């Protein structure tokens, strides 16, 4: 079978979706019995367009705030993440700083790693400092989710092709149902965003509309 890979890797690309489906990808895992919201890296470095890593993700923040309100109303677990390192960058290490030089700017307590104030994080809502892309790598996120009997994670934030995708893969590998509301994730690259959504939807979780996510949350 041949395919023109110059075409956009998008969920709207029927031919690409068909290719994945015929290869045995893209089933639906659905929801479990208790969801948590994982809010990935909606901090200054990623959300300010003037920053090296930044882009305009105001729509993502608005959608995330809408979901935060629902999760809080229903008293469902919420975990926030950011990336932050010690000033000597020992926690990052030379491989990370050489491959991703922007990591040298992600210093603990700097404005770059502070969450956007619109999110209104409450004291009882954990903020996880992750050393790598996935919210699960080198953190206690997994134990917190297990401790609260969570079996479904709704993953929102940035960037779709990086930390969001990596978190979805880790969640899937740990046997969580993974839900990604498409309006609540974003990326500095439109192509990277679309390709990652297709990859997540094919391999790790269900990419759905925000409205569908909200409708499902009403039953919890």
In the residue annotation, 163 being an active-site residue is answered as yes
The single residue of 155, 163, 179, 198 carrying the catalytic annotation is 163
Q: CB neighbours of 155 closer than 8 A, spacing ≥ 6?
A: 38, 40, 164, 167, 168, 171, 178, 179, 180, 185, 205
Quickly list DSSP for 62-114: HHHHHHHHHHHHTT--EEEEE--B-TT-TTT-HHHHHH-GGGGG-BTTSGGGS
Q: Among all chains, which residue has been given the structure tokens 């979780």?
A: 205
Longest Cα–Cα distance in the chain: 54
Give me the active site residues, please. Answer: 163
């Amino acid at each position: 079978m041949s395919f023109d890979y110059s075409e956009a890797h998008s969920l709207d690309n029927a031919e690409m979706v068909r290719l994945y489906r015929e290869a045995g990808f893209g089933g639906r895992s659905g929801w479990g019995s208790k969801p948590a919201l994982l809010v990935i890296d909606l901090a200054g470095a990623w959300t300010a367009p003037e920053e090296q890593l930044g882009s305009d993700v105001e729509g993502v923040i608005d959608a995330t705030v809408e979901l935060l309100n629902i999760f809080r109303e229903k008293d469902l677990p919420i975990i926030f993440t950011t990336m932050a390192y010690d000033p000597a960058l020992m926690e990052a290490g030379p491989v990370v700083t050489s491959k991703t030089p922007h990591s040298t700017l992600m210093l603990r307590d700097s404005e770059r790693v502070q969450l956007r104030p619109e999110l209104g994080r409450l004291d009882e809502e954990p903020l996880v400092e992750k050393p790598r892309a996935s919210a699960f790598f080198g953190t206690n996120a997994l134990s917190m989710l297990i401790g609260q009997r969570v079996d479904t994670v709704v993953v929102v934030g940035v960037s779709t092709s990086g930390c969001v995708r990596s978190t979805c893969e880790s969640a899937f590998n740990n046997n969580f149902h993974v839900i990604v509301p498409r309006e609540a994730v974003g990326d500095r690259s439109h192509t990277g965003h679309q390709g990652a959504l297709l990859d997540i939807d094919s391999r790790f979780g269900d990419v759905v509309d925000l409205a569908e996510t909200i409708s499902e949350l009403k039953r919890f």
